Amino acid sequence: MKPSIHPTAIVEPGAQLGDGCVIHAGAIIRPGAILGERVAVHPYAVVGGDPQVLRFNPAVRTGVKVGAGTIIREYVTINRSTEEGGHTLVGSNCLFMACSHVAHDAAVGDNVVVANAVLLAGHVVVGSHAVLGGGSAYHQFTRVGEGAIVGGLARITKDIPPFVMAAERDEVAGLNLVGLRRREVPREAIAEVKEAFRQVYFTPGNIREVAARLLAKGGFKSAQARAFLEFITAGKRGIARARRASLADGGAEE
């Protein structure tokens, strides 16, 4: 099915639209933007606009790639990369609610929900199945792990590990157990994630060194627990810390 471009929408030369894309009235798709199949761009969103960098040279050839089935609602802005030949990346089946922003060189995984007015700064990385609450803001180069959920109006300046709940300023409040169960993660794997959370957050010492020791011992077999530990050992920024010792069991209150 051919793309559908509504009256007053603008698709500039050099943009690419996959089959079944819908570009609503007033939306703007800039050169270098590559949209997969069935991407919907709602009124007044801008995909592929120049990065908000003072010394950026507009002649640099960069773009944005958006995966199949992603929905981009009203007034969303997704800026193109700053690096020659580079792309800001958005995965498949994501939802970007109204007025959210994705800055240059960010990378957003598949099945991510980005609520209203979320602000992703340059080079932010968001893992698949993450949920970012309305009005939350993310410092450049921060990482949000797979399956994490971040509360509304949170201020994130440190890395948020996979499968956790975070809120306020870099505060981890437990595990996103509801999200893990909805994705039908096996109970054994969830138990391992809980144990890895407990040991990492409530063992004295450097959090990265603790995670590295746990990986080296090889006691965690599930992909989810290992992803949790590997994320913590891999980053360069600080890791968001647990809010209070009463969550030592790694569980979410339900």
- Rounded (to 5) percent helix, strand, coil in the chain: 20, 25, 55
In a domain? residue 134: yes
- 99: domain CATH number is 2.160.10.10
Confirm if 157 and 141 have CB atoms less than 8 A apart.
Answer: no
CB-based burial label for 245 (10 Å; 0-12, 13-18, 19+): exposed
Strand partners, 152: none
Is 104 annotated in the active site?
A: yes
pLDDT for 235 equals 85
List 87, 104, 123, 129, catalytic entry: 104
Boundary (domain end) residue, out of 111, 141, 171: 141
Same domain (yes/no): 200, 136 = no
Is 123 annotated in the active site?
A: no
Looking at the 3D structure of the chain, how many domains does it have? Answer: 2
Tens of pLDDT, residue by residue over 16-48, are 999 999 999 999 999 999 999 999 999 999 999
pLDDT for 254 equals 36
Q: Please give the residue range of the domain that contains residue 234.
A: 185-247
User: CA–CA distance from 72 to each of 41, 216, 234 (Å)?
Assistant: 5, 42, 31
pLDDT for 252 equals 47
In a domain? residue 60: yes
The alpha carbon dihedral of 244, 245, 246, 250 has a sign of positive
Same domain (yes/no): 13, 91 = yes
Confirm if 197 and 203 have CB atoms less than 8 A apart.
Answer: no
Same domain (yes/no): 133, 192 = no
* Residue found by looking up tokens 């948020």 in the block: 160
pLDDT for 253 equals 39
Instruction: Give the residue ranges of DSSP H helices in 99-250.
Output: 177-182, 187-202, 207-217, 223-234
List 48, 67, 91, 105, catalytic entry: 105
Same domain (yes/no): 206, 109 = no
Same domain (yes/no): 209, 86 = no
Same domain (yes/no): 94, 203 = no
Low-confidence ranges of the chain (pLDDT < 50): 245-246, 248-250, 252-254
In a domain? residue 135: yes
pLDDT for 116 equals 98
Same domain (yes/no): 31, 93 = yes
List 122, 133, 147, 179, catalytic entry: 122
Q: How far apart are CA 4 and CA 39, in angstroms?
A: 10
Same domain (yes/no): 108, 199 = no
Strand partners, 90: 66, 108
Is 129 annotated in the active site?
A: no
Tens of pLDDT, residue by residue over 207-222, are 999 999 999 999 999 9
Same domain (yes/no): 46, 136 = yes
User: CA–CA distance from 204 to each of 12, 149, 200, 209 (Å)?
Assistant: 55, 26, 9, 10
